[in-house]
Amino acid sequence: MSESFLENPYVILLLLGNFAFMIALYFFQRNIGKKSHRYDERYNKMTNRSKARSWDAMLVILTVAWPVVIIFDGISFSFWLLTVIYVLHSVTWLITNIYVSNQENKN
């Protein structure tokens, strides 16, 4: 573990607290949005398109970050972490593509 983490292990509690706060805030906001009918077909279409573009941009960011990590940090934990993230990104992309293709074929 890193030296800075060992000096301040309470940071994990802050991260967990922030995560719980964000989940609660999401459900609170979602509940208000449902009451005011914010989540219609247009919203869903725009959200799906923006998520798809974000996913495409993330693929480019990961492929650019990979050699940067190798140059500055070498083949170390950072490289393997980035590799695992890239592989998970690609696998989930494959799974969602298969799922969406199957849904389209049913209609």
Are 55 and 101 contained in the same domain? yes
Are 34 and 48 contained in the same domain? no
Are 3 and 33 contained in the same domain? yes
Q: Which domain holds residue 61?
A: 41-107
Are 67 and 79 contained in the same domain? yes
Q: Look at phi and psi of residue 37 and say left if phi exceeds 0, alpha if psi is from -120 to 50, else beta.
A: left
pTM of the prediction? Answer: 0.62
pLDDT of residue 28: 95
Are 27 and 45 contained in the same domain? no
The answer to whether the Cα torsion of 35, 40, 44, 50 is positive or negative is negative
Are 58 and 74 contained in the same domain? yes
Task: For residue 66, give both structure tokens.
Answer: 């990979």
Are 32 and 69 contained in the same domain? no
For residues 46 and 23, what is the distance between their CA atoms, to the nearest angstrom?
22
Per-residue pLDDT of the chain (107 residues; tens, 9 = 90+): 677 777 887 888 888 999 999 999 999 998 998 888 888 888 888 888 888 898 889 889 988 998 888 888 888 888 899 999 999 988 998 898 898 888 888 86
Q: What total of structural domains would you count in the chain?
A: 2
The pLDDT tens digits for 64-84 are 998 888 888 888 888 899 999
